[in-house]
């Protein structure tokens, strides 16, 4: 496993990359160095053809306790603007490969926002989610209000962002913020297994599914359905599509090459 001080990266032979945030002394708080490293890592993983699915985790104890509050103590508006932290998040947004967040412990503020940059969220039963920025005289600044709104609707979003309360994995799951809740010790193994399954499929099909689903959220239904239909049709020009259909009739596992 390749390891930097704050981020560990393991690219497995099955096409799954495991990215692990490692700042235990600060509950994995996302300081600027960590955000920059995360951004560079996701750019590299996106460009690496051997990587077909990515799992992001904070390890067994905590996912991430949000932005590093130490960065906020004396910051002025101009300094916050000039940090342009949106550029770091954008690398995750631009990642065409599926991202699974494996959440144990707290996913708060920027940590919850980080989880929401994933496509699937697997939570351990003891995980806790929240947007507590309001308690700091702040508000979410990396998609907390808007991604929550789209995931769980106005009234649950308002409850979380205005009260700053923490919710359990089970509550988050019922709201639609979490894809699956598993035993704590199974969070990362389950996410890796799911990523392995996704990585075994045609990467073109997988990436089209991700792109259309994400884009469709902000389009009219008619526009989104048209986009879906066009993407569906494009897949008929891939060898993987022929392989998938032939393998079905030949009753054998498909071998996808990404072509």
In the complex, the residues that contact ligand CAA under the rule CB under 6 A are: 26-27, 29, 65-70, 106, 108-110, 113, 132-133, 136, 138, 140-142, 144
Q: Enumerate the H helices of 71-216 as residue ranges.
A: 77-83, 86-93, 110-116, 144-152, 154-163, 169-175, 187-199, 203-216
- Backbone φ and ψ for 8, nearest 5 degrees, come out as -105, 145
Nearer to ligand CAA among residue 27 and residue 156 (C-beta): 27
Give the shortest CB-176-to-ligand CAA separation in angstroms: 20
Q: Which of 64, 65, 67, 123 is catalytic?
A: 67
Nearer to ligand CAA among residue 66 and residue 203 (C-beta): 66
Nearer to ligand CAA among residue 47 and residue 73 (C-beta): 73
Q: Which of 133, 144, 169, 231 is catalytic?
A: 133
Q: Which of 105, 110, 143, 144 is catalytic?
A: 110
Q: Is 113 assigned a catalytic role?
A: yes
Q: Which of 64, 113, 124, 144 is catalytic?
A: 113
> Strand 7-11 relative to strand 99-103: parallel, antiparallel, unpaired?
unpaired
State how far the Cα of 17 lies from the Cα of 21, in Å rounded to an integer.
Answer: 13
Q: Is 133 assigned a catalytic role?
A: yes
Cα dist from 155 to 74, 81, 158, 162, whole Å: 33, 30, 5, 10
Q: Is 67 assigned a catalytic role?
A: yes
Q: Among 256, 233, 231, 230, which Cα is nearest to 245's?
A: 256
Give the shortest CB-10-to-ligand CAA separation in angstroms: 25
Angle between helices 144-152 and 154-163 (to 10 degrees): 140
Give the shortest CB-57-to-ligand CAA separation in angstroms: 16
Known catalytic residues?
Answer: 67, 110, 113, 133
């Amino acid at each position: 496993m390749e390891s930097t001080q704050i981020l560990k990266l393991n690219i497995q032979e099955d096409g799954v990359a495991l990215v692990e945030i490692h700042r235990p002394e600060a509950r994995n708080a996302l300081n600027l160095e960590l955000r920059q490293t995360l951004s560079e890592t996701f750019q590299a993983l996106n460009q690496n053809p051997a990587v077909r699915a990515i799992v992001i985790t904070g390890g067994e104890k905590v996912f991430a306790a949000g932005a590093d509050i130490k960065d906020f103590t004396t910051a002025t508006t101009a300094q916050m603007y000039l940090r342009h932290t949106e550029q770091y998040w954008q690398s995750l947004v631009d990642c065409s490969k599926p991202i699974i967040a494996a959440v144990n412990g707290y996913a708060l503020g920027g940590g919850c926002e980080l989880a929401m940059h994933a496509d699937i969220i697997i939570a351990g039963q003891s995980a806790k989610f929240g947007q507590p920025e309001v308690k700091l005289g702040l508000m979410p600044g990396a998609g907390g209000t808007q991604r929550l709104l789209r995931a769980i609707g106005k009234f649950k979003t308002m409850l979380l962002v205005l009260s700053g309360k923490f919710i359990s994995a089970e509550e988050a799951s019922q709201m639609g913020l979490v894809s699956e809740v598993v035993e704590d010790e199974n969070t990362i193994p389950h996410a890796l297994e799911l990523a392995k399954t996704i990585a075994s499929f045609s990467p073109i099909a997988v990436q089209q599914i991700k792109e259309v689903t994400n884009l469709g959220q902000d389009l009219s239904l008619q526009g989104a359905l048209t986009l879906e239909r066009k993407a569906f049709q494009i897949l008929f020009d891939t060898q993987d599509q022929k392989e998938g259909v032939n393998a079905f009739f030949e009753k054998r596992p498909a071998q996808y090459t990404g072509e």
